[in-house]
Each structure stands twice: as C-alpha cells, then as structure tokens.
Amino acid sequence: MGAAINEGRKGVGPLLITAATDREIAQLVRETGGVLAPGTEPRPVWECEFAGHRLVLAITGIGKVNAASSVTALVAGYQPSLIINTGCGGAYPETGMRVGELAIATAEIYGDEGVLTADGWHSLELIGIPSVERRGNRYANEFPLSLEAAEKAFQLGMSLNLQIRRGKFVTVSTCSGTAVRGAELYRLFNGICENMEGAAVAHVALLYGVDALEVRGISNMVEDRDISRWDIPLAAEMAQRFLLKYLENY
C-alpha cells in the first residue's frame, strides 16, 4: 500500500505544510519568512523560499471537512510534491508516550466513520464501497502516508536525540475525553495518537497521488478530560521546531 502513494508527484511543485490552527503553524511562518499570499481568505496561505525549497504554508481549520476542502483547493492550485500535515495530538496511554514528545504517522485511520450494528462498530469495509480506489487498491478507513518521508523524519529525530515515535494515527470527529473511549480506540486500531484532521488530509493526498507526511507534538494523554494536564503550546512548538530541522535536511 505504501508503494501506491509513493507514485505521486515527486520533484514537482512546492512543499505544502498544513495545520488546523494559527498556533500550530505560526512559528514556521515566522522563521521561514512566509509572505501572505493575496486573495487567500478565508483560510490564509503563505509562500516563501526556505533551505532551498519553495514552501506553501496554510491554515486549514479544525476538523475533517475543513481539512479536506482546504487541502483539495491547495493541491489543485499549487500541485505540491509533498504535503506535510502538522499540529497537536493526544497520545493513548498504552503507548507509553508523554506530553511534549513527537509522533510520526505511518498511516491515518478514520476512527468513527463506519457502521454501528447490534454486534458493535464496524469500519466502512462493511458497506463494501471504498473511500478511495487507486491503482488497483481499495481503501476504506485507513490511508498510507509516504514511508520514505516518515522514515527520513524518524531517523532525523533519532539523530537529534528526540523522544519520537512512529505508528498509526487515528482521526476522530469527537475528541476522546474519557479513558474508556481512548482504550476502545486503541484496541480497535492500535494507533499511537489521535487528532481531528489527519485522515482527511491523507485521504485527499492519496486520491490525487501526492506524497504526505504527518508530524504531531503530543499535547495531552487520552484520558478522563483534564486540561490542566495539557500543554498545547509545548506540543505545537516541538512539532514546528522539528519541521524546521526536517526542511533543512530534506
């Protein structure tokens, strides 16, 4: 499945970096010298040159619909060679991860699209109609990302002695605010963290044959909701600092 997405637009177009909110991309915009592109409201887009690369940086808005619509328009307008999706995520306690660590996606999964039956929840595979068909492969809830980009990011993180993990991410419409729900999602998907946009971005990337990478900072554990234990600023900063290094080494 990874080979299919790696047959995208290599070496053509800029690197597209997306995040749901300003906090999750502001540092990247500032330190790369991003210039606001005219006529990009209601979702701002910045363009610049950094470390020998053309960059497009964009805020998509929160959630799957905002992410999918924004990224579709950006892919059509810029034809990027790589989409880098970033932001914060909540880690499942079973992974042993901690707030402030980094996570790299090997695949993205829709965690709540599916069918609820008398014997429980089932994925979209039960319907028999795939979300995406590409090059003979059918995809329902799970979408691969670029294995090459993920490996490069992981190896860079290791070389920098960062606390970094890679694995599947789970995208949800309703953030898990209880330990019971988090444990259920971990059991179903064996993911390392959850978010609200990643699978939609990976879905669009796969549909249009563009390589994608997703890097998130861990802002909280998926447990009974207690925002006093969260650190969104730290998570956003760690992810953006790492991506600046990634761009310098890309």
Q: Please state, in angstroms and rounded to a whole number, the distance separating the CA atoms of residues 3 and 95.
A: 27
For range 52-77, the mean pLDDT: 98
Strand 164-171 relative to strand 102-110: parallel, antiparallel, unpaired?
parallel
Over pLDDT 70: what percentage of the chain?
96
Q: How confident is the model at residue 42 (pLDDT cuts 50, 70, 90)?
A: confident
Over its C-alpha atoms, the chain yields an Rg (Å, rounded) of 17
pTM for this one?
0.93
Query: For position 11, what pLDDT does the model report?
Result: 56
- The full set of domain ranges for the chain reads 15-248
- Which pLDDT band holds residue 238 (cuts at 50, 70, 90)? very high
Categorize the per-residue pLDDT at 3 as very low, low, confident or very high, splitting at 50, 70 and 90: very low
Contact 141, 13 (CB under 8 A): no
Mean pLDDT of 112-131: 94
In angstroms, the CA 117 to CA 162 distance is: 43
Residue 213 in contact with residue 82, Cβ under 8 Å?
Answer: yes
The predicted pLDDT at position 6 comes to 35
CA distances from 88 to 32, 61, 117 (A): 20, 13, 32
Map the chain to HEC letters.
CHHHHCCCCCCCCCEEEEECCHHHCHHHHHHHCCEECCCCCCCCEEEEEECCEEEEEEECCCCHHHHHHHHHHHHHHHCCCEEEEEEEEEECHHHCCCCCCEEEEEEEEECCCCEEECCEEECHHHCCCCCEEECCEEECCEEECCHHHHHHHHHHHHHCCCCEEEEEEEECCCCCCCHHHHHHHHHHHCCCEEECCHHHHHHHHHHHCCEEEEEEEEEEECCCCCHHHCCHHHHHHHHHHHHHHHHHHC
Q: Does residue 2 register a pLDDT over 60?
A: no
- CATH T-level fold of 15-248: Rossmann fold (3.40.50)
